[in-house]
A = this chain, B = another copy of it.
Amino acid sequence: MRQVFMVEAPDRPGLVHEITGALFRSGLNLMENQEHVDPDSGRFFMRSELEGSAEPSHLLATLNELHLPGATFRLRPLKPRRAVMLVSREHHCAADLLVRHTFQELNLHLVSVISNHSHLGWLVEKFGLPFHHLPAERVSRETHESQISALLEAADPELIILARYMRILSPGFVARWEGRIINIHHSFLPAFVGARPYQQAFERGVKIIGATAHFVSDDLDQGPIIAQDVIPVDHTYSAKELARAGRDVEQRVLAAAVRLVTEDRVFICGRRTIVFP
C-alpha cells in the first residue's frame, strides 16, 4: 500500500538531499514529492508518496540519525480516514459527502453523523450510517457539547467535518480536537464573517459570492483556510437566490477540502495552510 510521508522542519541547506537519502536507504521509492519553504518562518514542508515495504520504525530510526531538531515526521498508509460529520438542518453538503463516501470517491471512512436537529436522520440512515440526534434545546451549551464529545471520544475520529453545522463550538472543544475540525463557511472569507452572509452579500451588492473551507480555531471564521471557490452573481439574485446558488459552491469546496485533508495534503502554518494538491 502506498504511504504518505509528511515532514515539517526548520529549513537548512541540503535538507531535501538528506531526507530523500533516508527514504532511499529505507528501501522506499519516491512516487510523488512536493516541497515548500515558508519564507516568513523559515520552515520546510514536504509531502511524499512512497512505495516499498519499509517498517515505519526503521524509517524513523534512519531519520533520527539526521539530527533535525524541531522536525516532525508522519508516515501513514493512504487509507480511508475515520471521520464524524456534524450537521444541522441544511442537507446539501451532508448529502454530497454521503454520496461521495458511499461510492468511495474520497479517502474517507465516515463513522457516524451527529446533529442538533432530526431533519437529516432519514437521509443518513438511508446511506447506512448511524445518526445521533442531540437536541440543543432545553440543555445547557456545556451539556450539549459534552454529549457530542462523548460520542466523538468513542468514535475516535481523525477528522470532524462540520457540514453546515450551525452552532459555535467552545474553545475547550476546539482545543481537544485541534487541527482536526474542518468547517464550511458560506462566504468568501474574510468577507462576511458571522451570521447570514448571503444577506450581507445581497446588501453589499457584490458581483461574486463564494464559500470557504477552513480549520476551526478559537476565533470564529478565522481558522486557516484550506479551500475557497466562487461564482459570479448579479443584481437579479435576491438573498434567497444567493443562498441557493451558493449551496453548490459550499458543497464542492467542502468536498475539495475533505479530499485534501484526508490525503494528508494540508499543513497548518500559523494562520495559513500549505496545500500540496
Does A179 count as interface, using CB distance less than 8 angstroms? no
Does A206 count as interface, using CB distance less than 8 angstroms? yes
Q: Across the interface, do A228 and B206 meet the contact criterion of CB distance under 8 Å? A: yes
Q: Could you tell me the distance in whole angstroms from the C-beta of A133 to the nearest C-beta in chain B?
A: 19
Does A205 count as interface, using CB distance less than 8 angstroms? yes
Query: Chain A contact residues: over half helix, strand or loop, or mixed?
Result: mixed
Does A173 count as interface, using CB distance less than 8 angstroms? no
- Per assembly, the copies of the chain total 4
Contact of A13 among B14, B29, B37, B244 (CB under 8 A): B29
Q: Across the interface, do B203 and A225 meet the contact criterion of CB distance under 8 Å? A: no
- CB under 8 Å from chain B, chain A span 256-277: 269, 271-275, 277
Does A96 count as interface, using CB distance less than 8 angstroms? yes
Known: A33-B35, A188-B191. A225 touches B252 (CB 8 A): no
- CB under 8 Å from chain B, chain A span 46-93: 91-92
CB contacts (< 8 Å) of A252 on chain B: these are 248, 252
Contact of A235 among B227, B229, B275 (CB under 8 A): B275
Residue of A203, A208, A225, A226 most packed against chain B (CB within 10 A): A208
Q: Across the interface, do A235 and B191 meet the contact criterion of CB distance under 8 Å? A: no
Name the residue on B nearest A28 (C-beta). Answer: B13
User: Interface extent on A, as a size class?
Assistant: 35 or more
Q: Across the interface, do A271 and B17 meet the contact criterion of CB distance under 8 Å? A: no
Complex alpha-carbon distance, A126 and B30, angstroms: 43
Does A134 count as interface, using CB distance less than 8 angstroms? no
Does A132 count as interface, using CB distance less than 8 angstroms? no
Does A177 count as interface, using CB distance less than 8 angstroms? no
CB contacts (< 8 Å) of A39 on chain B: these are 238
Q: Across the interface, do A21 and B29 meet the contact criterion of CB distance under 8 Å? A: no
16 A-B Cβ contacts within 8 A? A13-B29, A17-B17, A17-B21, A31-B37, A32-B37, A92-B99, A95-B99, A126-B126, A203-B271, A204-B225, A205-B272, A206-B225, A207-B225, A207-B275, A208-B228, A235-B275
Task: Please list the 9 inter-chain residue pairs (A to B) with the smallest Cβ-Cβ separation, ordered nearest first.
Answer: A205-B272, A17-B20, A191-B191, A207-B228, A14-B24, A95-B99, A235-B274, A16-B20, A208-B228
Residues of chain A at the chain B interface (Cβ within 8 Å): 13-14, 16-17, 20-21, 23-24, 29-39, 91-92, 95-96, 99, 103, 105, 126-127, 188-192, 203-208, 210, 224-230, 232, 234-236, 238, 244, 247-248, 252, 255, 269, 271-275, 277
